[in-house]
Amino acid sequence: MTNLDAPQVKAFSFGGGWQSMAAMVLAATGEIDYRTFLMANVGDDSENPATMVYLDHYARPYAEEHGLELVLLDRVMVRSKETRTLYGELTREGSKSLKIPVRMSNGAPGTRSCTADYKIKVIGRELKRRGATKDRPATVGIGISLDEIGRANKRRCEPYEQIEYPLLERGIRRIDCARIIRSAGLPVPPKSSCWFCPFHRPEAWHDMRREEPELFEKACQLEELLNARRDSLGKDHVYLTRFGRPLRAAIHPGVDTLPFDDTDPGCDSGWCMT
């Protein structure tokens, strides 16, 4: 069989959250035409621990039961064959990496490359391994729901892919995703993201401090490590929130919530938090 005769590659970018799990249920029931789900793993030490637990206890068994392919893809360096994680890269001794969108002193997110390096390129390599090319691009499903329509942006396609939004096209909202998941007898998964992501909303940080204090402390220590390095370089401090203060002070235990701010754009790529 030549490359031109081979079936076109088709896969769903699986993030481990509500939208991705709803898409898997729709695929299992034949409502959308996806049999392969690819998850770019930013690292077992980087992804929300609850997401990894859900993956092992529910997503993997459900996919297997319904004949779906769910593949976790690590970031493996081409030359050294070393597997890297985002947290490991941020904390590696001597590293000056700031791949995550840390907040600058004015609250604006800095430049980031985490999505490109740990999501887009990782999945892209697998798509090309399966036969995707510029002439025969893979069809890639992205889990953006109708209430997040602003995150959809087909102009960001790579040459070897064409993007589809099956949830968006069907008018499915985030709340509908929860209903779809429960209809399959599954619990709704936790929100997927790196546990130290600067795009967390204030209420997410408060929840972490209250419900997962050890993880919150680890996030504080990461922020402190990044700023200790910036001190040695003579650079301004950066933060994991938009408040221009250290995480420990910005998310104070005496305050349960902060005003909801829907002007914060968050991660608009569609590759994360789905």
Average pLDDT of adjacent 10-residue blocks, the chain of 274 residues: 67 96 98 97 96 97 98 94 94 86 84 90 96 96 91 75 95 97 97 93 95 97 95 93 94 62 51 70
**127, 140 contact by CB (below 8 A):** yes
What size, in residues, is the chain?
274
pLDDT at site 3: 54
Question: What's the CATH code of the domain at 73?
Answer: 3.40.50.620
pLDDT at site 259: 46
Q: How far is CA 130 from CA 77, 93, 123, in A?
A: 18, 36, 11
The structure's pTM equals 0.89
Q: Is residue 238 part of a domain?
A: no
pLDDT at site 164: 94
pLDDT at site 12: 98
Helix (H, G, I), strand (E, B), or coil: what is residue 162?
strand
DSSP 26-66: HHHTTSS---EEEEEE--TTTB-HHHHHHIIIIIHHHHHHT
Q: Is residue 271 part of a domain?
A: no
For the stretch 111-135, pLDDT in tens is 889 999 999 999 999 999 999 999 9
Which residues touch 25 (CB under 8 Å, ≥6 apart)? Answer: 62, 180, 181, 183, 184, 186
Q: Compute the chain's Rg from CA coordinates.
A: 19
Q: Is residue 62 part of a domain?
A: yes
pLDDT at site 270: 60
Q: Is residue 244 part of a domain?
A: no
Q: Is residue 89 part of a domain?
A: yes
**47, 195 contact by CB (below 8 A):** yes
Nearest to 194 by CA among 95, 86, 97, 113: 86
Q: Is residue 156 part of a domain?
A: yes
Q: What distance in Å separates the CA atoms of residue 230 and residue 70, rounded to the nearest whole number?
A: 40
Cross-strand partners of 71: 38
Q: Is residue 126 part of a domain?
A: yes
> Measured in whole angstroms, how far is the alpha carbon of residue 160 from the centre of its chain?
21
Q: Is residue 220 part of a domain?
A: no
The range of the structural domain enclosing residue 161 comes to 10-193
- Looking at the structure of the chain, the number of domains it has is 1
Q: How far is CA 271 from CA 22, 117, 194, in A?
A: 15, 11, 12
Q: How far is CA 270 from CA 40, 164, 229, in A?
A: 13, 11, 31
For the stretch 252-272, pLDDT in tens is 876 555 444 444 445 555 667
Q: What distance in Å separates the CA atoms of residue 180 and residue 14, rounded to the nearest whole number?
A: 16
Which residues touch 252 (CB under 8 Å, ≥6 apart)? Answer: none
Which residues touch 235 (CB under 8 Å, ≥6 apart)? Answer: none
DSSP state of 241: S
